[in-house]
Amino acid sequence: MALLVASCQQDPQSANGPNLPLAQGGHGGGGSTTPANPAITYISSTTSHGHTTWGIAVMDTSGANQTVIYTPSTGYIVYNPTWSPTGGSIAFAESDFSLGVSAIKVIDVSVNSSGVAVGSNLRTIASWSASDSEGVFNNDDDCGPAWCQQSTTGKIAFLLYHTNWSGSPNHYRTDLCTIPQAGGTVTMLATRTPSNNGVADMLFAPTWSPDDSHIAARVFAGGPDPVLVFDMTGAVTDSTPLATTSTNRPVRWSHSGLNELVIGSGGTNPMYYLTPGSSPTSESITGSTGTWSPNNSGIMYLNGGAMLKVIPNTTTATTVLSSASGIGGNLDWRQN
């Protein structure tokens, strides 16, 4: 595993660091925004003259105050932003397919004196070069990163994809890994190698349990696609197949006080709920990139061109934005 790890200038979990909750002012806080906002991070997407510009953005729970806090260099795309447990930083993946390079980066988020969200202290905690034939590449997949839920854990989970296009047995092998949130040694918990030298059996969408004792991920197995739950030794403690072959749809675990996963749907497939060890259920809601509210009372998701909030395990949904133009997906709701 040829990994380039960048040293982080500041431990983002330091008591004096910028990773304080925004509700406490955060780094350079104050301003006119309410303590709960910005609450949601997402991928921004704007297209002009056939060219799409991607960015890391934040907004309020109402969809208001959409603000891009980071735009990558031309040719690079960003995806899968994830809040730190205390809500002061966002980790995300960045890649340039043509160059064959990728990285996991972290940016701090604060609110200035005018109430506007701003990003600062951008740093790279891990990167992969063109010669590695591996990285956190994204192709409409969900490879992470996923920040842990407890501040004491201090780790970020992600999937390392091996993309050896020569057709070796490792082509599209996926490794479930963790890395300290400040950068450092990558730990591989589990690996899956495709049985047909293709994309079958790939892992997608890592997500931490509320107590950080387990990580769940989807498998693209050619259907029905199971959800696997791994412990911190990499052992599979639960495997539950879904009823459809909706492939690489996001999986999100609830926060403390609930032990349930929501699995986003694709097309006309339903959104699933899963308690490890039990059969999956569905309420016939269709949508993608579901993300839990801090108290687990709602799930924000995208459906077509709109953004909605649904009460878990019901069909009760409220339209937050009738037109989610500019929101490219990968919603993540702060838990603090």
Give residue-wise pLDDT tens across range 78-124: 989 999 999 999 999 998 877 778 899 999 999 998 889 999 999 99
Q: With contact defined as beta carbons under 8 Å apart, do 154 and 120 qualify?
A: no
Please give the residue that has the higher pLDDT: either 223 or 209. 209
Lowest-confidence region among 25-29, 218-222, 247-251, 253-257: 25-29
Q: How far apart are CA 191 and CA 157, in angstroms?
A: 13
Taking CB atoms within 8 Å and a gap of at least 24, the contacts of 309-315 are 310/271, 310/285, 312/254, 312/260, 312/262, 312/273, 313/273, 313/281, 313/283, 314/283, 315/283, 315/284, 315/285
pLDDT at 134 over 90: no
pLDDT, mean of residues 293-315: 93
The span from the CA of 280 to the CA of 46, in Å, is 36
With pLDDT > 90 as the criterion, what percentage of the chain qualifies?
Answer: 50
Q: Phi and psi at residue 231, in whole multiples of 5°?
A: -90, -175
Q: Mean pLDDT for the chain? A: 82
Q: What is the pLDDT of residue 170?
A: 59
Could you give the domains of the chain? 22-333 (2.120.10.30)
Residue 10 pLDDT > 50, yes or no?
A: no
Q: Which residues of 172-199 are buried (b: 16+ CB within 10 A; e: fewer)?
A: bbbbbbbbbbbbeebeebbebebeeeeb
Mean pLDDT over residues 228-244, rounded? 90
- pLDDT at residue 45 tops 50: yes
**Maximum mean pLDDT: which of 14-28, 153-167, 295-309:** 295-309
Band the pLDDT of 232: cuts 50, 70, 90: very high
What mean pLDDT comes out for the span 146-161?
Answer: 95
